[in-house]
Amino acid sequence: MGARSKEARHRWFSRLPPDASSSFLPCKRPKSVAFVLWIRPSCFLRESLPAELSGLPGLPLPPQAPTNTMNCGLPEAALSVIDWGRLKSGDVNEGARLLSACDDQGFFYLDLSSEPSFLHDHKSVLHFMDQYFHQGLADKMKDDRQSDTHGYEPVATSTGALNTLPDYYESLKASRDELHGDGRNLAPAVCDRQDLFLRFSDMMHQMVIAILQELDCQLGFGGDRASFQDFHRKDAESLTTLSMFRYPKQETLDLGVGHNKHTDIGTLTFLLCDQWGLQVLSKDPAGWRFVAPREGHAVINVGDTLRFLSGNRFRSAVHRVIPTQRLQHEDRYSIAYFLRAANDTQFTDSAGRQVSAKQWHDEKFDVFRETHEEQEKMPILTGGMERLENLPGIWCGVRLTDGICHRLGAEDC
Binding residues for 2-oxoglutarate, as ranges, are 332
The crossing angle, in degrees rounded to 10, of helices 194-219 and 92-104 is 90
Distances (CA, A) of 25 to 22, 31, 380: 10, 15, 29
Region class of 256: left (phi > 0), else alpha (psi between -120 and 50), else beta? left
Q: Is 62 exposed, middle or buried (0-12, 13-18, 19+ CB in 10 A)?
A: buried
Nearest-angstrom CA–CA distance, 267 and 286: 27
Binding residues: 262, 264, 319, 332
Nearest-angstrom CA–CA distance, 339 and 64: 34
What DSSP assignment string belongs to 145-196? -SBSSSEEE-SSSSB-SSTT-B---EEEEEEHHHHTTT-TTS-HHHHHTHHH
**Which residues have a Cβ under 8 Å from the Cβ of 260 and sit 6 or more positions away?**
158, 159, 160, 161, 167, 320, 368, 372, 375, 381
Three-state secondary structure call for residue 354: strand
Report how far apart the first and last C-alpha atoms of the chain are (Å, whole number): 45
Nearest-angstrom CA–CA distance, 373 and 167: 15
Phi/psi at 348 (5° precision): -95, 120
**Which residues have a Cβ under 8 Å from the Cβ of 116 and sit 6 or more positions away?**
none
DSSP secondary-structure letter at 272?
E
Nearest-angstrom CA–CA distance, 234 and 237: 8
Which residues in 157-296 belong to E strands, given as ranges?
170-175, 241-247, 259-262, 268-272, 278-281, 288-290
∠ at Cα 394 (390, 400), nearest 5°? 120
